[in-house]
A = this chain, B = another copy of it.
């Protein structure tokens, strides 16, 4: 008889929901992934999430599920299991932990997706002995996950780690959050798109004009990488600037928290990793204090799209261990 225990990890993303089932070694037995757009009008999100979790469990061929971890974008209240605000699902102060633990009758834990992505890349990576870790994930926005003394930093509000809203340029460009000069306003994919739009309008990126025309929604990380690969230097310059600024924010985090490990992830890193690594190393050298940066390892995460779901499962396993310890 198989007595092994299994855990479900769920990643509630901006555009998709992913549920995985892992064994005690955190090997993935099954994956169920659905785009959000296709069903959002017809089904309550929580029912769809339950359906996706059930499908992943069925596919894994086990009934011995002992816990569920959930990662959600934006601010969450991990202590009370509440998603504070997830506009794309229409959730405000939504008690996802209560709903899932009632339905599945197992312990459920919740955290912010970038926290969990950082958590998984750290604990399943080559430097899991690190005690202090900074994760930075540049994409449409720029998320951050912070680990101090081997614990995720939540702060008083539960929502610490808003690295993307670090002010780097007072009176800089307007950010989605309403303030000016945030890292996100300077270096997210939206900021890069803003700059590239001007390039295309000036006729300075023939490749991107050919590929996306004037539809800026088509300026994805991958097509930007292609333009750079064929030699469009001005596109490269825009990306390098964004990467460098991301590196300045990382240098600030090194000055503040003195981590031994910095993990990079997210869409821009996946498509443009080499440029990001180069510029971030340069910025860290120029903006972090020598005695704080000298032993810092900066690496690109290896878990790709599974990072958040794996982090959710890991967090759940770790909380269960603690419950056992105190029993």
A: residues with CB less than 8 A from B are 75, 84, 130-132, 144, 146, 148-149, 151, 153-163, 165-170, 177, 179, 245, 248, 251-253, 255-260, 286-287, 289, 291-292, 295-296
6 A-B pairs in the complex with CB atoms less than 8 angstroms apart: A146-B256, A155-B257, A157-B292, A161-B256, A168-B168, A169-B170
The residue from B154, B166, B289, B292 contacting A255, defined by CB atoms under 8 A apart: B166
What chain B residues lie within 8 Å of A286 (beta carbons)?
Answer: 179
Cross-chain contact B287 with A179 (CB below 8 angstroms): yes
What chain B residues lie within 8 Å of A155 (beta carbons)?
Answer: 132, 148, 257-259, 292
CA distance A166 to B258 in the complex (A): 12
Cross-chain contact B257 with A292 (CB below 8 angstroms): no
The residue from B84, B130, B162, B177 contacting A256, defined by CB atoms under 8 A apart: B162
What is the oligomeric copy number? 2
What chain B residues lie within 8 Å of A253 (beta carbons)?
Answer: 256
What chain B residues lie within 8 Å of A256 (beta carbons)?
Answer: 144, 146, 160-163, 166, 253, 256
Knowing A132-B155, A170-B248 touch, does A160 contact B287 (C-beta < 8 A)?
no
Cross-chain contact A167 with B168 (CB below 8 angstroms): yes
Cross-chain contact A291 with B157 (CB below 8 angstroms): yes
Cross-chain contact B165 with A255 (CB below 8 angstroms): yes
What chain B residues lie within 8 Å of A160 (beta carbons)?
Answer: 132, 256-258, 292
CA distance A289 to B155 in the complex (A): 13
Cross-chain contact B148 with A130 (CB below 8 angstroms): no
Knowing A168-B167, A256-B162 touch, does A84 contact B156 (C-beta < 8 A)?
no
CB distance from A77 to the nearest CB of B (A): 10
Cross-chain contact B154 with A258 (CB below 8 angstroms): yes
What chain B residues lie within 8 Å of A169 (beta carbons)?
Answer: 169-170
What chain B residues lie within 8 Å of A146 (beta carbons)?
Answer: 256-257
Select from chain B the residue with minimum beta-carbon distance to A163. Answer: B256
- Residue picked from A130, A151, A166, A287, most chain B C-beta under 10 Å: A166
Knowing A162-B292, A287-B179 touch, does A156 contact B131 (C-beta < 8 A)?
yes
What chain B residues lie within 8 Å of A156 (beta carbons)?
Answer: 130-132, 258-260, 295-296
CA distance A258 to B152 in the complex (A): 13
Task: Report, nearest first, the 6 A-B pairs whose CB atoms are least far apart.
Answer: A155-B258, A160-B258, A156-B260, A162-B255, A157-B258, A167-B287
What chain B residues lie within 8 Å of A161 (beta carbons)?
Answer: 256, 258
CB distance from A305 to the nearest CB of B (A): 26
